[in-house]
Amino acid sequence: MKGRILLVEDDETFRGFVQTILEDDGYQVLTAADGLKGLHLIRKESFDLVVTDLNMPGRNGLELFRETRLDPDPPLFIFITAFGKVDEAVGAMKEGAVDFLTKPLENPDTLLALVNRAIEGQVRTREYLTFKEAEAAGLPPEELIFAGFAMQAVQKLARDVASTTANVLIFGESGTGKELVAKTIHLLSPRKRGAFVPINCAAIPENLLESELFGHEKGAFTGAVQARQGKFELAKGGTIFLDEIGEMPLALQVKLLRVLQERVFERVGGSKEIKADVRVIAATNRNLQEEVAGRRFREDLFYRLNVFPLPLPPLRERIDALTLLTEYFLHRFSRQIGKKLKGVEPAALTAMKAYPWPGNIRELQNVMERGVILAKDLVRRGNLPDEILRGAVQKPGESRDVLKTVEKEMIVKALREHGENRRLAAAGLGMSRRTLQYKLKEFGLLDGD
């Protein structure tokens, strides 16, 4: 799918004609017969572009456009108008509309060229904003968070769910980057201007966790000398991230279930209901279905949280991303320490690729920080911990080589299908152009540039 478009047009025949043109070109198109229905869909759904008739009975296209201008992330607009109303369309462009077309639409290619240009510009803007927001949030670039062939599907799922209100449950071993993915979903969501509030359910004593989540009133317990807001209040309008949700005590699970069902809670020692205006993303390294079977986790809470499950692969299944991740940590720690290193020697990289990484990316980060501290010019094999060097004796699995072969074939095929256009090939593969450039270099597919 190239993008989501809302088509607002009161003429049923013309609406069907334009919808067919756009859908045949790969767009997902929702339609509305008037401006009021169009506004309802804009408030409910997420669109890359709105194509609307300028003049319609009731609420017209210009009124629809103006009503969306104060939204946090308003969609782009293209107007379709009769020749006699061109002045109004030009006025709308001065207010921020992309462009306009006139009826009758004699050449469908004119519409497609305009739509394609608008959507591509929106994608570039969205990628740039994501980079700026990620940088401000202390995150690595999105292409690093989702580096590796095994993470391409995860990235698509994260982007798909970000624009919705669905609860998300992220599964994965410790150190796989569950909080980074949760932050990325938040930054890509309509709640990105709100706070992202994380809480580790395993790191807080059981008797304090309820107060941490929901706050408390003055005198609620010994030491409560003043009222205090909890994480759910601090996350108002944003996202709360419940890490290690499998560690939450059963008694508190009941109260969390009420929040998810009724969207209200009370502070400890209080009786006033407070609205829970938050999006919930939870994470666990446990098998919650086994926890449910063992009656250590409530089944009804599991199904409430598990609306959109998102499993993260371990680093040993993302070995194709190891070089990119290693370079990122090398540059990051070199800057922090003030060293100028040339890179990682091939022997060290080979040893790391043969190691199973039980601690995943968190372990890789620690190894690289240690390596940078010890290195003189390159991070060498001797700068690695003994457990990695012992693990390097193991022969890498053949499946890894098969995966690389398949990935290389997919890239070659995509380039051929798109006439060697790297931007289009990257979009078709679901990866950024920078990631594709890295892959081309890794597989020796660059032609001297």
Largest CA distance in the chain: 78
307 three-class SS? coil
Rounded percentage of the chain residues whose pLDDT exceeds 70: 89
Evaluate whether 53 touches 10 at the Cβ level (below 8 Å).
Answer: yes
Predicted local confidence at residue 362, as pLDDT: 94
The confidence band for 393, taking pLDDT boundaries of 50, 70 and 90, is: very low
Same topology, domains 4-129 and 142-313? Answer is yes
| Spans of all domains in the chain | 4-129, 142-313, 316-391, 398-442
What is the topology classification, in CATH, of domain 316-391? Helicase, Ruva Protein; domain 3 (1.10.8)
The Cα–Cα gap between 347 and 87 comes to 68
What per-residue confidence (pLDDT) applies to 126?
A: 55
Distance CA 7, CA 52 (A): 6
* 449 — pLDDT class (breaks 50, 70, 90): very low
d(C-alpha 222, C-alpha 224), whole Å: 6
DSSP three-state, residue 271: coil
Question: What's the fold here for domain 142-313?
Answer: Rossmann fold (3.40.50)
In this model, does residue 73 exceed pLDDT 70?
no
Residues 30-52 pLDDT 10s: 999 998 999 889 888 878 899 99
CATH 3.40.50.300, applies to 4-129: no
Mean pLDDT over 395-401 rounds to 44
Q: What is the rounded average pLDDT of the residues 102-111?
A: 84
State which fold the 398-442 domain adopts. Arc Repressor Mutant, subunit A (1.10.10)
Give 402-435 pLDDT, tens digit per residue. 456 656 777 887 788 777 888 887 776 767 777 7
Residue 152 confidence class, pLDDT cut points 50, 70, 90? confident
Burial class of residue 371 (count of CB atoms within 10 Å of its CB; 0-12, 13-18, 19+): buried
Environment class of 295 (CB within 10 Å of its CB; exposed 0-12, middle 13-18, buried 19+) = exposed
Q: pLDDT tens across 190-207, in order?
A: 888 888 999 999 988 888
Give the pLDDT confidence score for residue 391 in this predicted structure: 67
